Structure 1
């Protein structure tokens, strides 16, 4: 193993220790009560080492989510890959990837979105998912015929905000029910609601989701 690989492995190991320590502390005393000193002590490292990796406790939890969100933003092509597959049972692959990410970090999301978590974290998730939805909005509108808008639409930001809260609620429900369902199942169910409910919220005549 090269020196660079050893260094990278050491960095990832330290970050994992910090993340695990933070999750344990959130469960015990709540996110707002935790300090950087608490996290460093639980992870058995010094504060200087913590600050070499993260700016503060907010940066620690945000980076886990935002790195994935930014990756999804940069790889939006799957949402446009096959416009013919517009049935409710065929979610864009980007949402499958999103729920896989949640499953991989289920303890973090359960801790941060639970009763001892932080509204700040939920707000950050909402902010980034709204960006994802804006990127995919043109794809959604392609699913209806030109001129199919039948009612006055809501202000654009309102249905996006509503849908981001639905996504957070879906994540919380999934994790609290011990996630007996796969990421693809959750992506399918979320997409089913988003595809038909969201278009209706925008003022379009949404197709009937029931199978014929």
Structure 2
């Protein structure tokens, strides 16, 4: 391992320890009651080290989702294949991955997006979803003009980000009675007949079959 790789590895390990500590603490008490000292103690690091990596506990929980979103962006070419055809029964991998991530960190998202959660966190999450969708749409290479050229291009993406977070909240409040694949499929059906049509895709609806 080179000298350049060692600091990066230490940073990634510190991030992992702090994120795991945050998720563990959320399963034990309310987010509002958790302090930076609690997180640092659980991760077995000092407070100064925490503040070298994150501004506060809000920044930490936001980064957990942001890192997942960034990972999806980096691997978008793997999630999107040129041979992949739009199908109402074939949910895009992007949705499956997002719901799988939420399922893996149920306690975190239930705490941060629930009734006693943080609007700030929801806003940060929404911002990154919008970035993710814009990149995904760019790789789709929109096939034709939108239905209404006067409509701002960012509007459908913003609308979908709200629907996605609303779907996640509903799923968490239902105690996750449904699998990530089920939720991804149902969400994709909504996207297929609403969002994609607004972007200009030639969608065949059931009454046209």
Is TM (by shorter chain) over 0.5?
yes
Do 2:130 and 2:161's aligned partners in 1 also have CA atoms closer than 8 Å? yes
- After superposition, the Cα gap between the structure-2 partners of 1:23 and 1:199, relative to the gap in structure 1 and judged at 3 Å, is same
Q: Does 1:162 align with 2:159?
A: yes
Structure 1 contact 88–191 (Cα < 8 Å) conserved = yes
**Compared CA separation, residues 72 and 14, structure 1 to 2 (3 A):** closer
1:187 to 166, 179, 184: 184
Task: Output the CA distance in 2 between the equivalents of 1:140 and 1:78.
Answer: 15
Structure 1, unmatched stretches of 5+, are none
Q: For residues 166-181 of structure 1, what are the structure 2 equivalents within 5 Å? A: 166-181=163-178
Q: Equivalents in 2 of 1:70, 1:45: separation in Å?
A: 26
The TM-score with structure 2 as length reference comes to 0.78
CA separation in 1, counterparts of 2:19 and 2:65?
14
Matched ranges for 1:50-89 at <5 A: 50-89=50-89
Q: TM-score, normalised by structure 1?
A: 0.77
State whether residues 91 and 188 of structure 1, in contact with CA within 8 Å, keep that contact through their aligned partners in structure 2: yes
Structure 1 pair 45–22 and aligned structure 2 pair: CA distance change class (3 A): farther
Q: Tell me, yes or no, if the aligned pair for 2:142 and 2:200 is still in contact at 8 Å.
A: no
Q: What CA distance in whole angstroms lies between the structure 2 residues aligned with 1:140 and 1:166? A: 23
